[in-house]
Amino acid sequence: MLSSLRCGLLFASLLFAVAVQAQQAPTSPTHHLMPVPTTANWGAARLPLRSTFTYIITADTQPDTVVAAAARRLQGRLLRRLGPARPAAKTTPSKAAPTLSIRYGKPGRMDNGDEERYALRVTPMGISLTAPTSLGVLRGLATVEQLVAKEKNALYFPEVDIQDQPRFGWRGLLIDAARHFMPVPVIKRNLDAMAAVKLNVLHWHLSDDQGFRVESQRLPRLAQVGGEGQFYTQAQVREVQRYAAARGIRVVPEFDMPGHATAWLAAYPELASNDSTYGVAPRWGVLNIAMDPTRETTYTLIDTLLGEMTQLFSDPYFHIGGDENDGRQWLRNPRIVQFIKEQKLVKSNGQPDKHALQTYFNRRILAMLTKYNKKMIGWDEILRPGLPESAVIQSWRGKKGLYDAVKANHPAILSNGYYIDLNYSAANHYAVDPLPADAPLTDAQKKLVLGGEATMWAEFADSVIVDSRIWPRTAAIAERFWSPATVTNVPDMYRRLAIVSAQLERLGVQHRSAPELLLRQLAAGQPVAPLRTFASVLEPVKEYKRHFQGMKYTTQTLLNRLVDAAPAESDAAREFGEAVDALLAQLGTAPTSPLPAEALPALAAVRAPLIQWQANDVKLQPLFNTSASLREYGPLSARLSALSTLALERLQLLEQGQTPTAAWKTNAQQQLEAAKAPAGQTELAVLPALQRLLNGLP
């Protein structure tokens, strides 16, 4: 877990960890930190967190205002953790030495590629944070906040010596504000969360078939018509960029083209590749509606927009999308086919090449962006012969896109494996490495891998529940982007993820409170606890199966059903699975009576939730009977109860040293199979563990 340069020190720190286990809260050499730092050597001493916490800042050259602001925010949050103000301390802060001493070289700028490394030392005398740039200070302050531990109601910083720097310079989160509009407060609180886990790029997906979300003064219909009134004003865009910059986060805008652009066509029909007129799309999916890349008027309009947007957005990178356009509208238009032939955009067999036409389009856009001093990024579909090397490729369809891109000398970013909208587990994303040891790349090619991005596509996330679809899982991805590749311990990741989740809640992220509010609305005045218990073992169906579960979603569909309150990853299911595996590990292959004594705690840990789930269905019946919205989930609740009953019976047989009859086993298998059917676009997240339990006991 720790990649310490000095084995002796690592050994010493492990000894410390063992020695202090009995007395202090964090018992792992990773403590509460996420992402894990490059090296950390822990001591046994402590620095108490007191209401006299102060800081001093020294800049070797000119000061950067973001440092003072970040230190003040940190101080405020630390003092809030101490609870209500106490009587004034005896030592006045002016006389006492500052608790935290910050020193840095120069102002750092993310868009300059400045360093983010820092060194941090905590002793009983105080904290020293040094960094070459202000960016390093911001990262170090995030670590200081996470260091705080608690014992017997006393907060303290553990003694430690940290040297830390990111593994990748590009550590992003995409927020899709096009499918569901995400008002500025949503973006800001997610920026706070990103800063807490050292993410540094907000990829702001600002236009798609379902909406164009930025005010354009030159082309006002884009937001007014294409955004249907829900868009960011230019003042708000500037405000978000300031807020992000103050946290060391860059903002990369994406305007998706030539596909995923129906909202543009609704505003400016002359962009279309046929004679149809379009409204802003109310439905989801790959619509294969594209701009006409053959008309000069298309480029005039895009140039007008880019001229304005490249001024509005200060980051040197600018994302043009470029994904999921199959070119069918182009090939159906004789005028466009004629253009393709005139431009010799044909395959070796002479047939029109729609990909070559898109590359023609991409090159025209790249020329504009170059004129405006921007570097172009696009999804991996834009990687075709003829694309200039300066274009950055964001790979979403597979690792191959990433490797192909860097082999062709393009800088590249990995998003495949980090699609958090698919509702996979944190462990699943955590296992994906942008540059695994076996990557078939040269050192020069490896250097072109800039990093990665988690993607929060928002077909099934509105501004209310989006936090719960991003966090806490994205903190595990942030660790993959920042920490050494050797940091791969999954149980320890989950231990820290729970701590970070609580930290994010203190920061104002609503990943826990919004689903809870939804549950209370659904309970409509009846006790919410049984519904909470039930929701906690559900997950939305994975991938994009929600589209195919008998319900037609549009942009108008409210996301306020039980599926929207269900966690993307069920903690209860994971914990139950761990308990089941611990129990199975304690047992032999043949039944014994009595059970080995060491298996009894594991048995109790498995039994307790089963008893709760068994009894829960009856408690939910009044809700299922009165709520039309909840009724569709009734069958799943009944199945959970029945399976819990079976599992409890099975545990009883186990204790009696008996095995079930063949008929019992057949019935159990049938019930397990039946419980696989989703209801209300959710599935029982505890099912795999129940299956392991019922099939795995001796």
Contact in structure between 502 and 471 (CB atoms under 8 Å): no
* Of residues 157, 155, 57, the one with CA closest to residue 98: 57
- Judged by beta carbon, residue 260 or residue 650, the one nearer ligand ACM is 260
Instruction: Give least dist CB 661 to ligand ACM, A.
Output: 50
- Phi, psi (degrees; rounded to nearest 5) at 138: -60, -45
Report d(CA 266, CA 279) in Å as an integer. Answer: 5
Instruction: Give least dist CB 396 to ligand ACM, A.
Output: 4
- Judged by beta carbon, residue 379 or residue 460, the one nearer ligand ACM is 379
Which position has the token pair 């569909």?
Answer: 557
- Judged by beta carbon, residue 414 or residue 693, the one nearer ligand ACM is 414
Instruction: Give least dist CB 621 to ligand ACM, A.
Output: 41
- Judged by beta carbon, residue 108 or residue 540, the one nearer ligand ACM is 540
| Residue 115 vs residues 25, 103, 118, 207, 249: alpha-carbon distances, Å | 33, 15, 9, 32, 13
Check if 260 is active-site. yes
Written as one letter, the residue type at 643 is: L
* Of residues 645, 644, 659, the one with CA closest to residue 593: 659
Helices 687-696 and 662-674: crossing angle in degrees, nearest 10, is 170
- Judged by beta carbon, residue 168 or residue 379, the one nearer ligand ACM is 379
Check if 208 is active-site. yes
* Of residues 497, 523, 509, the one with CA closest to residue 464: 509
- The full 3-state SS of 332-395, as one line of letters, equals CCHHHHHHHHHCCCECCCCCECHHHHHHHHHHHHHHHHHHCCCEEEEEHHHCCCCCCCCCEEEE
Instruction: Give least dist CB 4 to ligand ACM, A.
Output: 39
User: Two tokens at 197?
Assistant: 């886990």
Instruction: Give least dist CB 649 to ligand ACM, A.
Output: 46
Instruction: Give least dist CB 178 to ligand ACM, A.
Output: 12
Instruction: Give least dist CB 519 to ligand ACM, A.
Output: 30
Query: Cβ contacts of residue 44 below 8 Å, gap of 6+?
Result: 16, 19, 20, 159
Of the residues 115, 164, 208, 215, only one is catalytic, namely 208
Instruction: Give least dist CB 202 to ligand ACM, A.
Output: 16
Number of neighbours of residue 610 by Cβ within 10 angstroms: 24
Report d(CA 291, CA 271) in Å as an integer. Answer: 5
Contact in structure between 363 and 350 (CB atoms under 8 Å): no
- Judged by beta carbon, residue 376 or residue 565, the one nearer ligand ACM is 376
| Residue 247 vs residues 189, 194, 696: alpha-carbon distances, Å | 12, 9, 49
* Of residues 341, 361, 342, 360, the one with CA closest to residue 350: 341
- Judged by beta carbon, residue 318 or residue 534, the one nearer ligand ACM is 318
Nearest residue relative to ligand ACM (C-beta): 323
Interface residue list for ligand ACM (CB under 6 A): 323-324, 379, 396
| Residue 533 vs residues 510, 513, 570, 580: alpha-carbon distances, Å | 19, 15, 11, 19
Instruction: Give least dist CB 203 to ligand ACM, A.
Output: 11
User: Where does 542-633 have alpha helices with state H?
Assistant: 562-565, 571-586, 600-626, 628-631
- Judged by beta carbon, residue 192 or residue 323, the one nearer ligand ACM is 323
Of the residues 115, 164, 228, 324, only one is catalytic, namely 324
Check if 324 is active-site. yes
- Judged by beta carbon, residue 323 or residue 404, the one nearer ligand ACM is 323
Q: How many residues does the chain have?
A: 698
Instruction: Give least dist CB 458 to ligand ACM, A.
Output: 12
Query: Cβ contacts of residue 59 below 8 Å, gap of 6+?
Result: 67, 103, 104, 105, 106, 107, 134
| Residue 352 vs residues 272, 293, 348, 356: alpha-carbon distances, Å | 19, 14, 10, 8
Of the residues 260, 319, 410, 511, only one is catalytic, namely 260
Instruction: Specify the DSSP class assigned to residue 598.
Output: G
Dmax (CA) for the chain in angstroms is: 87
- Phi, psi (degrees; rounded to nearest 5) at 339: -60, -45
Instruction: Give least dist CB 408 to ligand ACM, A.
Output: 19
- Judged by beta carbon, residue 379 or residue 430, the one nearer ligand ACM is 379
- Judged by beta carbon, residue 287 or residue 646, the one nearer ligand ACM is 287
Q: Helix, strand, coil: what percent of the chain each, to 5? A: 45, 15, 40
Catalytic residues: 208, 260, 324
